[in-house]
Amino acid sequence: MVLLLKKILPAIALSALLATGYGQSWVRINQLGYTEKDIKVAVLVSKNAITCTRFSLVDAVSNKVVYTSDKVQSFPAYAAFESGFRLNFTAFQKPGSYYIKAGDVVSPVFPVNNQVYDGTADFVLKYMRQQRSRFNPFLNDSCHTADGFIVYHKDPRKDSTRIDVAGGWHDASDYLQYLPTSANATFQLLFAYMKNPGSFEDRHDASGRAGSNGVPDILDEARWGLEWMVKMNPGKEEYYNQIADDRDHRGMRLPNQDTVTYAPHMGLSRPVYFISGKPQGPKYQNRTKGVASSAGKFASAFALGAKILQGYDPVFAATLTEKARDAYAFGKKYPGNNQTIPFGAPYFYEEDNYVDDMELAALSLYEVDKKTHYLDEAIGFARQEPVTPWMGADTARHYQWYPFLNLGHYLGTGHGNNRGEYLSFMKEGIDRVKKRGAGNPFLMGVPFIWCSNNLTVAILTQISLYKEASGDHQYDELEAALRDWLLGCNPWGTSMICDLPEKGVAPKDPHSAFTHLHGYKISGGLVDGPIYGSIWNKLIGIKLYKPDSFAAFQSPLVIYHDDYGDYSSNEPTMDGTASLTYYFSKMQATASGTDVVRRDTEGAVIGMPGKKVYLIFSAHDKGEGGAYIQQVLKKQGVKASFFFTGDFLRDPQFRPAVLQLKKEGHYIASHSDKHLLYNDWKQRDSLLVSKEQFVTDLDHAYQTLAEMGIPKGRWFLPPYEWYNKDIVAWAREQGLTVINFTPGTGTNADYTWPEQSNYKSSAQLLSQLKKVESEKGLAGNFLLIHYGTDERRTDKFYHQLETIIRFLRARGYQLERLP
């Protein structure tokens, strides 16, 4: 065969090349591409017994070889292939477009640059919005608004009575809704934002329609899940686990055209299954033994939601906190697993574990309440299941060990007493999967059970978080292999995420009414993924609707089809898709260098991830700039962060303005009570206050905030912006994180007046800010501006606020309040 090297071939054509000397051989790559400093490995596979000792990297524009390597690792037969090789080109870091050439075989063209993951975490949210129930923004129509009527309530009088649980997400291409998958998805979305806030944008409103609303889209999506979960928990010890059942499976239709009925006189209302802690099901029964697996999921999602949404909606956050406490107590009272309900068929989510859910709930509640008993209880739960049992196993029942990832182990590494133990739990799980995959060229050690892609995302996430928590990089190549598997470096040469990349080989014909009936794309959805041939051959009702384009790559071991008829390998799932948001946002943040919270030498936070700028205002006894600042922020649609002393808050001339700031959604926190100087100006480590004085002063400050209906937040700005390691540690013990302005920005010098030697005019301060932006950038910076200044300064810098906002926006920065 003659290779066409002077023209970039489409990926689908390149993936099917049969090359001279390497007959029926293919080079698989990550179609999305590789970041410049990341591990880069392609996989050469062949249906024949071949050898490979060298390969080349070719510039796709000039068709010139730019890199040659002998870093080749060979593997025995695997799946449909007799030979396999890992081709490592990690050392090559130059941005551009390339393809691999091994013998006469070439790969699809792929990019190398630090932008390949930009926007991917937001991209998968497209599918989450498309899965919304009650109002579906993709269809711009409502659906399932009559949900639902109660089934299996402990009080028989409530059975068949109405309850409003409309909302949430449909689970997959059917329209059932499950608490386990929805709660896990909600937690995953919140967790992704907590870890990598700079990777998410605000392009949609709360309803999911296009248009900014001042809230990152991922938090809008998480809140959609939380609000539904609140409905599924209408009272103390009253929880529901599922809407609808397998009667839903009566043919394909769009959700707004659903006409399935479940009971006489109920119209389109669907059954809502009460959590009783006992086996349920009219024909086939599940193996429920308690409530803790569901209660723990309620508690963890509510607690993390409370922590993250406190700055956006403190009233809703307070509701979530109380519900989290109640759900955790409910789980402790009735330990055991709670499973979903089969109706006419013996299929359900067979979740057998629960201690992982309770561990995560305890650690999430600790983040809200700071009560040490949660830490003791969490490690107790963790020791009962140190490794999620599917890791290293050859098989498992459907959703038997769920969630597939125990994020509680990662949260536990943040607490010193048991840090090493939690790390060992995470490492053991990774080692088991690594050992199982060590003999194949893709390093794939995940069992090919139903939803194997979800398991792949789970272990991929665990590797990433373990590396962050431990600093151990020994699993970097395994991490890259699992990531690349999802994006095309697999036996079929296809991405497992619908339309990612848009022009590559990716699911185009998933098992979905949206695509099959109407040709609507379901971009962003993670499909179930490869499944054992032994499972696929036993499934009922599978029928391929077109010739199998991947026929050459199928094997008795494992099968994948991009065909509507294969519901086992090509159906997108809502929870699997949500689980991608952490890893994609992490990759974007790492590549852009914005994945790290910056701290100064004393331990205070002085910068955040992402291309965002945080406007911070502080005040103790001056506040004449308040009305102007508030007016500009409202006009520009910007939310900012304000730190006030207790003395300032108690002053009747300032109090109404603060309450208005609260009403408008700004972040308000403490600048201490009496504006004490904590430590010596010249000898920074020399304290001027005792710990008792520090704590007492803070208590008075937060009491004043509480009286104004303002909850205690995470962030604390010390008076005079001056502190030392002791102050940072004392604040941490009070559940506070000390912050300060980003050094070098200069705007904090706006307190000076002309008679002082360090005086800076507003023009000088603005010029300094622009200089810093041009030389270093301002991504993640905290800009401190005083809410009021001395009367001797007539050149008020806050009058430059509108100019600053326009300047920053013109440079591509988002302006946000502290999370």
Residue 539 — pLDDT band, cuts 50, 70, 90? confident
The Cα diameter of the chain in Å comes to: 87
Q: Give the pLDDT band of residue 36 (cuts 50, 70, 90).
A: very high
What is the reported pLDDT for 776?
Answer: 85
Residue 370 confidence (pLDDT) above 90: no
pLDDT reading at 422 higher than 90:
yes
Copy the structure tokens of residue 267: 């119209």
Distance CA 166, CA 168 (A): 7
Q: How do residues 575-584 score in pLDDT, each as one tens digit?
A: 999 999 999 9
pLDDT recorded at residue 811: 84
For residue 148, say if its preceding peptide bond is cis, omega within 30 degrees of 0. yes
Give per-residue pLDDT as tens, 120-140. 999 999 999 999 999 999 999
- Architecture of the domain spanning 120-589: Alpha/alpha barrel (1.50)
- With cut-offs at 50, 70 and 90, classify the pLDDT of residue 2: very low
Helix axes 120-130, 217-231, angle to 10 degrees: 30
Q: Tens digit of pLDDT for each residue in 309-322?
A: 987 888 999 999 99
Average pLDDT over residues 346-354: 95
Question: What is the model's pLDDT at position 723?
Answer: 97
How far is the C-alpha of 353 from the C-alpha of 338, rounded, in Å?
Answer: 9
The alpha carbons of the chain give a radius of gyration, in whole angstroms, of 28
Residue 307, helix vs strand vs coil: helix
Mean pLDDT value of segment 256-262? 96
CA-nearest of 192, 187, 199, 188 to 306 is: 187
Please work out, in degrees rounded to the nearest 5, the angle formed at the alpha carbon of residue 593 by the alpha carbons of 809 and 360.
100
Q: In the chain, where are the structural domains located?
A: 11-112, 120-589, 598-816
> In DSSP terms, which residues pair with 111 in a beta bridge?
97
Where does 530-640 show beta strands of DSSP type E? 531-532, 558-559, 572-573, 598-599, 605-607, 612-619
- Contact in structure between 313 and 281 (CB atoms under 8 Å): no
**Lowest-confidence region among 17-26, 37-46, 51-60, 362-371:** 17-26
Asked whether the whole model's pTM tops 0.85, one would answer no
Half-sphere exposure for 74 (CA within 13 Å, toward CB): 11
Q: What is the pLDDT of residue 596?
A: 63
Length of the chain: 819
What pLDDT, in 10s, does the model give residues 686-731?
999 999 999 999 999 999 999 999 988 889 999 999 999 999 999 9
- What confidence category does residue 429 fall into, taking pLDDT thresholds of 50, 70 and 90? very high
25 touches 50 (CB < 8 A):
yes
What whole-number distance in Å separates Cα of residue 756 and Cα of residue 734?
A: 37
Class of domain 598-816: alpha beta
Residue 16 in this model has a pLDDT that exceeds 60:
no
How large is the average pLDDT for residues 91-115?
96
Classified as helix, coil or strand, 45 is strand
pLDDT digits (tens, 9 = 90+) for 543-553: 899 999 999 99
Q: What are phi and psi of 774, to 5 degrees?
A: -70, -30
For residue 537, pLDDT beyond 70: yes
Determine the Cα–Cα distance for residues 442 and 641; give it in Å rounded to an integer: 48
pLDDT band at 812 (very low <50, low <70, confident <90, very high): confident
**pLDDT at residue 6, as a whole number:** 28
Cβ pair 560, 550 in contact under 8 A: yes
Could you report the per-residue pLDDT of 53-72, keeping only the tens digit for each?
999 999 999 999 999 999 99
Q: Which helix (H) or strand (E) holds 82?
A: none
The torsion region of residue 152 among left (phi > 0), alpha (psi -120 to 50) and beta comes to left
380-413 burial string, b = 16+ CB within 10 Å, else e?
A: ebbeebebbebbbbeebeebbbbbbbbbbbbbbb
pLDDT level of residue 813 (50, 70, 90 thresholds)? confident
- The pLDDT tens digits for 754-769 are 999 999 999 999 999 9
Average pLDDT over the chain reads 93
- Span 406-432, mean pLDDT? 94
Cα–Cα distance measured from residue 29 to residue 87, given in angstroms and rounded to the nearest whole number:
10
Res 643: pLDDT: 97
Q: What is the C-alpha to C-alpha distance for residues 107 and 127, in angstroms, rounded to an integer?
A: 29
Lowest mean pLDDT among 106-120, 176-190, 304-318: 304-318
Q: Calculate mean pLDDT across residues 168-180.
A: 97
Give phi and psi for 69, each to the nearest 5: -145, 150
Percent of the chain past pLDDT 90, that is, above it, reads 85
Does the pLDDT of residue 25 top 60, yes or no? yes
Report percent pLDDT > 70 for the chain: 97
Cα separation, 101 vs 67, whole angstroms:
10
Confidence of residue 595 (pLDDT cuts 50, 70, 90): low
Q: Average pLDDT, stretch 525-549?
A: 93
Q: Is 199 helix (H, G, I), strand (E, B) or coil?
A: helix
CA angle 615/616/620 to nearest 5° reads 155
What is the structure's pLDDT at 553? 97
Confidence of residue 593 (pLDDT cuts 50, 70, 90): low
What is the DSSP secondary structure assignment for residue 238, as one 8-state letter? B
Residue type, position 149, single letter = F
Average pLDDT over residues 45-51: 96
pLDDT band with cut points at 50, 70 and 90 for residue 1:
very low
Residue 500 has which token pair? 């990612």
How many CB atoms lie under 10 A from the CB of residue 736?
21
Question: What one-character-per-residue DSSP string does 678-744 give?
Answer: -B-SSSTT-BSS-HHHHHHHHHHHHHHHHHTT----SEE--GGG---HHHHHHHHHTT-EEB-PPTT
Q: Can you tell me which residue has the tokens 């974007």?
A: 588
Residue showing tokens 């089934």: 151
* Residue 261 pLDDT class (50, 70, 90 cuts): very high
CATH topology of domain 11-112: Immunoglobulin-like (2.60.40)
* pLDDT (mean) for 468-477: 92
pLDDT, one tens digit per residue, over 651-686 is 999 999 999 999 999 999 999 999 999 999 999 999
Report which secondary-structure segment, H or E, holds 80.
Answer: none
Could you check whether the bond before residue 501 is cis, i.e. omega within 30 degrees of 0? yes
**How many separate helices (H) and strands (E) can be counted in the chain?**
22, 28
Q: What is the DSSP letter of 481?
A: H
User: Dihedral sign, CA of 468, 396, 447, 294?
Assistant: negative
